[in-house]
């Protein structure tokens, strides 16, 4: 069973881009899963610089959280290292609040990238056991992801 879903042109491009960024698929596989020609996928990739984008977003959620915690720790170290005024300035307080909010959001929200990542992991696991079943299930994962776009 092929994983072609009924999408308009923009949705197909967005879906192909999401699949490209989160999975290691060939242009042919992207074309098949989105229902467009391989050349169309190649044109989209070149025009919107998908390869460069993929490189720029390879930082994981865990790495992003680690960076936020490190920034928060650095601000707290500066504050506690002062001999006087051992409390946050208004600017530091604002930054601490923003960092805390970003951390809370990242730790609790599940985005399309997370859904795609889990879908990819499940399909990779199933593919080792039963490649035909993985192909069949990819249709449902693709449909679910499309619904979330």
Are 2 and 32 in contact, with CB atoms under 8 Å apart? yes
From the list 60, 43, 54, the residue with the least C-alpha distance to 19 is 54
Q: How confident is the model at residue 5 (pLDDT cuts 50, 70, 90)?
A: very low
- The phi-psi region of residue 53 (left if phi > 0; otherwise alpha if psi is between -120 and 50; otherwise beta) is alpha
Say what the pLDDT of residue 58 is. 62
Residue pLDDT, tens place only, 62-119:
778 898 999 999 999 999 999 988 899 999 999 999 999 999 988 887 777 778 888 8
Tell whether pTM > 0.75.
no
Q: How confident is the model at residue 6 (pLDDT cuts 50, 70, 90)?
A: low
């Amino acid at each position: 069973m092929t994983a072609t879903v009924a999408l308009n042109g923009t949705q197909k491009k967005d879906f192909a881009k999401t699949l490209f960024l989160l999975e290691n698929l060939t242009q042919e596989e992207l074309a098949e899963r989105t229902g467009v020609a391989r050349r169309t996928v190649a044109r989209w990739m070149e025009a919107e610089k998908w390869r460069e984008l993929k490189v720029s977003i390879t930082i994981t959620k865990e790495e992003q959280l680690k960076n936020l915690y490190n920034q928060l720790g650095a601000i707290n170290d500066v504050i506690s290292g002062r001999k006087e005024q051992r409390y946050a300035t208004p600017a530091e307080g604002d930054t601490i609040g923003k960092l805390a909010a970003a951390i809370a959001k990242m730790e609790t929200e599940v985005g399309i990238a997370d859904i795609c990542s889990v879908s990819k992991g499940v399909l990779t696991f199933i593919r080792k056991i039963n490649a035909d079943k993985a192909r069949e299930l990819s249709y449902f994962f693709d449909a679910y992801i499309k619904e979330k776009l």
